[in-house]
């Protein structure tokens, strides 16, 4: 109401009128501007979500009869070999996500002190992110196919064809090969994010640091790294839920065969090919529960460790400092008391 209060009018009546009109207008704006987004949110997120919860207790197809089966679908999620083992496939993508963050951090720090040719390297590494997932799938299907790109390169370096594994068929390596494609795709993008955060550091800080005799290594450790802590944490959280929902690489490249089916590939098959809608819904809910658990656990962890990941001082450091302050106060009081005596 401060807006209206600020405009104290000369005539009381016109003020009341203005108020009235403002109130009506306010309500109108709120309703009009929120109607469409809320309608969309309900229709495409919350109603489907509610239905998903409901369907997960039924044995049903898209069309036809449904029978209530209680928790049977949930039991199936954990007992069916193909579903449960697909959760372990996600671990490969999680490993990939961590490699990708590390590589992105490494290359971002190589490029932070503007170097010659930086824009070319930046562009080359970032561009894969813009290619659509299906195209990336084809590129790597070709890349890994027996006797094609990767094999030819390895042969050029003198490897024998017999020593080269079947990248997409050999179960000990095919998931790594697939996870590598998503590392290839996202490393450059992560690097751009980190570079952006590193560059946003006030340039005065560098000047002050170099006046104080800090070299580039010191600048990196004490100025740049702390500035990107929160964005690294954010990306870690995103990449964990992202790796649980990995879909495109196995879908296009191997179609989920040979033990490469991630959770979503299996779910997609169960929902749209086998039409076991109830089971697919239960799978979706289990996945959502896992993602929420991970997000909450990570948030709590980082809240404890760094105060939501944004402050530079960790909780432990704060506690130490406060203790030291208290001790200092006590010591000072004691000293005062001693003097008084």
Footprint of other proteins on 100-159 (CB under 8 A) = 106-107, 110-111, 115, 117, 119-135, 138-140, 142-143, 145, 148-149, 152-153, 156
Q: How far is the CB of 178 from other proteins (least distance, A)?
A: 14
Site for other proteins in 194-233 (CB under 8 A): 195-197, 199-200, 231
Q: How far is the CB of 121 from other proteins (least distance, A)?
A: 5
Q: Is 168 in the site for other proteins (CB under 8 A)?
A: no
Tokens of 112: 């932070």
Distance CA 321, CA 96 (A): 38
Q: Cα 62 to the chain's mean position, in Å? A: 32
CB of 3 or CB of 341, closer to other proteins: 3
Q: Tokens 């109607």 identify what position?
A: 35
Q: How far is the CB of 88 from other proteins (least distance, A)?
A: 18
Q: Kindly indicate which of the ranges 79-87, 158-166, 169-177, 290-298 contains the residues binding other proteins, using the contact rule CB under 8 A.
A: 290-298
Q: How far is CA 51 from CA 43, 45, 66, 281, in A?
A: 11, 10, 13, 9
Query: Applying CB under 8 A, which of residues 91, 292, 300, 324 lies at the interface with other proteins?
Result: 292
CB of 92 or CB of 251, closer to other proteins: 251
Q: Is 69 in the site for other proteins (CB under 8 A)?
A: no
Binding mask 12-51 for other proteins (x = CB under 8 A): -------------xx-xxx--xx-xxx-xx-xxxxxxx-x
Q: Kindly indicate which of the ranges 68-76, 77-85, 86-94, 289-297 contains the residues binding other proteins, using the contact rule CB under 8 A.
A: 289-297
Q: Kindly indicate which of the ranges 67-75, 206-214, 261-269, 329-337 contains the residues binding other proteins, using the contact rule CB under 8 A.
A: 261-269
Dihedral sign for Cα atoms in the order 88, 141, 241, 42: negative
Q: Tokens 């954010």 identify what position?
A: 234
182 in Cβ contact with 249 (< 8 Å): yes
Residue 21: CB atoms within 10 Å? 10
Q: Kindly indicate which of the ranges 74-82, 171-179, 265-273, 315-323 contains the residues binding other proteins, using the contact rule CB under 8 A.
A: 265-273
Phi, psi of 157 (to 5 degrees): -85, 10
- DSSP state letter for 5: H
Distance CA 76, CA 24 (A): 55
Could you tell me if residue 64 is left (phi over 0), alpha (psi between -120 and 50 degrees) or otherwise beta?
left
CB of 115 or CB of 313, closer to other proteins: 115
Q: Is 267 in the site for other proteins (CB under 8 A)?
A: yes
Dihedral sign for Cα atoms in the order 152, 156, 157, 163: positive
């Amino acid at each position: 109401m401060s807006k209206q209060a600020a405009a104290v009018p000369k005539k009381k009546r016109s003020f009341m009128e203005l108020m009235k009109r403002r109130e009506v207008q306010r309500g109108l704006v709120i309703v009009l501007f929120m109607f469409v987004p809320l309608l969309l949110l309900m229709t495409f997120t919350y109603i489907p979500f509610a239905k998903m919860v409901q369907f997960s207790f039924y044995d049903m197809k898209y069309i036809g009869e449904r029978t209530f089966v209680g928790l049977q679908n949930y039991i199936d999620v954990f007992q069916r070999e193909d579903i449960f083992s697909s959760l372990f496939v996600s671990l490969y993508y999680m490993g990939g996500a961590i490699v990708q963050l590390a590589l992105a951090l490494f290359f971002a720090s190589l490029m932070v002190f503007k170097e010659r040719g930086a824009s070319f390297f930046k562009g080359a590494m970032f561009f894969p992110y813009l290619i659509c997932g299906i195209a990336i799938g084809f590129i790597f299907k070709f890349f890994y196919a027996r006797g094609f790109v990767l094999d030819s390169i390895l042969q050029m370096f003198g490897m024998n064809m017999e020593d080269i594994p079947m990248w997409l068929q050999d179960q000990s390596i095919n998931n790594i090969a697939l996870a590598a494609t998503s590392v290839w795709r996202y490393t450059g993008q992560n690097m751009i994010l980190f570079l952006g955060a590193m560059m946003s550091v006030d340039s005065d800080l560098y000047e002050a640091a170099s006046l104080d005799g800090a070299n580039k290594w010191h600048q990196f450790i004490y100025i740049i790294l702390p500035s990107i802590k929160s964005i690294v944490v954010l990306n870690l959280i995103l990449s964990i839920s992202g790796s649980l929902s990995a879909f495109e690489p196995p879908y296009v490249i191997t179609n989920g065969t040979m033990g490469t089916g991630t959770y979503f590939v299996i779910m997609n098959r169960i929902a749209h090919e086998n039409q076991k809608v109830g089971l697919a819904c239960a799978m979706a809910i289990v996945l959502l529960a896992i993602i929420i658990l991970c997000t909450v656990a990570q948030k709590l962890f980082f809240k404890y460790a760094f105060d939501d990941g944004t402050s530079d001082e960790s909780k432990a450091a704060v506690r130490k400092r406060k203790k030291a302050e208290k001790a200092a106060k006590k010591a000072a009081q004691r000293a005062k008391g001693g003097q008084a005596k």
